[in-house]
Amino acid sequence: MTLRGQTGAGIMDCKGALNESGGDLAKAVDILRKKGLAGLAKRAGRAMKEGVVVAKTSPTAVSLLEINCETDFVAKNPDVIGFASTLASEMLSDASLANPAESEKAKERLQAVAMKMGENMQIRRGVVYTAAANTAAGFYVHSDNRKGAIVELSFDGDLGAAKADLETLARELAMQSVAMSPKYLKREDVAADIVEK
């Protein structure tokens, strides 16, 4: 693989790094990495108002991940979406990634993507949700990959025959919660004056 393919750096940056390293590809990658880290430090204060939300499932859990960046151009980039999708999948099987916003491993991998994109990026939040026994869970991520939700429904009785229907209902409720952007999660969270209205 070429230096440009590995790092996503510009042609002149690659040429300079190869000259500086005496043609050693590994040293050139390290030079570009250090240069990229310096560039990221300069961009650290920039606002990240765009991003991508991804959800993945396993037979027993759902992961939901939000990554923020500066522009929608980067949020829609296949490399960013691919990274988010891969990380959300790995969150289901790797306990060290269960809280990716706190995981050094996840942050280092995101840093490589951020250097390639040339933008400030962060893992805003992520969760792995394991449904309790006798419950059905569903998730929804809106088509613009900017909002998502997980809903779990509990069931008194034998869940067996009703599970598929309850999972469909949970998904539909997750879709409605994304569409309506509710302000409260539980009735107890709602102020009394609002309940009276």
Domain extents in the chain: 3-43, 47-128, 131-197
- What digits encode the pLDDT tens for the residues 130-175? 988 888 889 999 988 899 999 998 888 777 778 888 899 999 999 9
- Angstrom CA distances, 56 to 45, 63, 87, 105, 133, stand at 31, 5, 9, 19, 20
**How buried is residue 6: exposed, middle or buried, by Cβ count under 10 Å (0-12/13-18/19+)?**
middle
Q: Which of 46, 45, 65 is nearest to 55 (CA)?
A: 65
Q: Are 116 and 127 in contact (CB under 8 A)?
A: no
Q: Which of 47, 51, 68, 49 is nearest to 142 (CA)?
A: 51
- What digits encode the pLDDT tens for the residues 75-132? 999 999 999 999 999 999 999 998 999 999 999 899 888 888 888 899 999 999 998 8
- What digits encode the pLDDT tens for the residues 59-84? 889 999 999 999 999 999 999 999 99
**pLDDT > 80? residue 47:** no
- The dihedrals phi and psi of 190, each to the nearest 5 degrees, come to -85, 130
Cα–Cα distance measured from residue 72 to residue 86, given in angstroms and rounded to the nearest whole number: 20
The tokens 């309506």 sit on which residue?
A: 180
Q: Is the model's pTM score more than 0.95?
A: no
- The dihedrals phi and psi of 72, each to the nearest 5 degrees, come to -70, -25
Architecture label for domain 47-128: 2-Layer Sandwich (3.30)
